[in-house]
Amino acid sequence: MANGFVQLLVHLDATQQAAQRLKVARQIAHAQGAAVTALYAVTPSFVDLPFAPVAGPGIAAALRDIDDELRARARAAFEQTLATPGVPVAWAVVPEAPIMAAFAQQALYADLLVMGQHDPDSAALRGVPSDFVESVMLASGKPVLVLPYAGALPQAVGDTVVIAWKPSREAARAVSSAMPLLRQARRVIVLSWTGEDEKIGGSRLDLAGYLKLCGVQASWHSQGAEPEALGELLLSRAFDLEADLLVMGCYGHSRAREWVLGGTSRTVLRSMTLPVLMAH
């Protein structure tokens, strides 16, 4: 990866949280000298329209009007956010379903995706699948900065960063992907759990040495054996350490053509109280 991000891609919808995502992306882009594109991606209402005689042209037209109103609301929030000084942002729209495939394809050309935690109680999120974040992450292979839907966001994301570390591909990808933010952080804390290391003779590579070579000074909190309820513990420890960013791998597996999240990843995505940068 280059020394910094060069392109950020923000997911927009009609929620109030979309403006927060745009604000955070502009802050990161300003610090990194990166470009930002905001992509409005919401499944059209007519996709769920039942094939029945009662679902006539009038209903379809009404649903299109609703979609147009939601898109206009998102565009108005976009314009209002850009009225404040900062990094310019390009506007783009996914005009039709499937939105996940289109968003994931656009993600291929970005260093970091800025997306929102799914809010099960938000009517404005009707056109955004509940598994949108993890599906895009899996399809694109790109890291995602996920912002929580509840609570106030920190003034600056990435001042105090907690890394959830165990020797795995997913955790290593998350650390590498977060490096531009880690280099600019005031504090970096590594929470590590015991894992099986392969036997190596001579000079051994490890995360501490890698971070040091990257110019990142980190403090370490060794946690011993990995507990069963790791997701809850991660969020609790991040809160205790006053972190404003959690960096972790996203774990899961495919089963019968379905992506199934691991327990820790599922817990964090469901209960997160701070921004989380994840990579698979």
Each residue of 210-243: pLDDT tens digit?
999 999 999 999 877 777 888 999 999 999 999 9
Q: Evaluate whether residue 245 is within a structural domain.
A: yes
> Are the CB atoms for 64 and 7 separated by under 8 Å?
no
Q: What mean pLDDT value characterizes the chain?
A: 90
Tokens (6 digits) for 278: 């994840």
Structural domain contains residue 154: no
Domain count, the chain: 2
In the prediction, which pLDDT does 55 show?
Answer: 54
On whether residue 1 sits in a domain, the answer given is no
The answer on 248 and 177 residing in a single domain is yes
User: Binning pLDDT at 50, 70 and 90, where does residue 259 land?
Assistant: low
What's the rounded mean pLDDT across residues 268-278? 96
At residue 124, the pLDDT reads 67
Mean pLDDT of 19-46: 95
Could you tell me the pLDDT band of residue 255, with boundaries at 50, 70 and 90? Answer: low
Would 49 be classed as within a structural domain? yes
Q: How far apart are CA 199 and CA 189, in angstroms?
A: 26
- Say yes or no: 198 and 119 in one domain: no
Let me know if residue 122 belongs to a domain: yes
One domain, residues 53 and 82: yes
- How does pLDDT run across 184-196, given as a tens digit for each residue? 999 999 999 766 6
Q: Tell me, what CATH number does 21's domain have?
A: 3.40.50.620
**Contact indicator for 226, 166 with CB cutoff of 8 Å:** yes
Domain co-membership, 168 together with 241: yes
Query: Mean pLDDT, to the nearest integer, of 144-157?
Result: 92
pTM check: above 0.85:
yes
Largest CA distance in the chain: 74
Across the strands, what pairs with 9? 37, 113
**Are 252 and 274 in a shared domain?**
yes
pLDDT value for 262: 83
- Compute φ and ψ for 57, nearest 5 degrees: -60, -35
- Asked if residue 141 and residue 164 are part of one domain, the reply reads no
| Domain of residue 126, residue span | 7-147
Position 52 confidence tier, pLDDT thresholds 50, 70, 90: very low
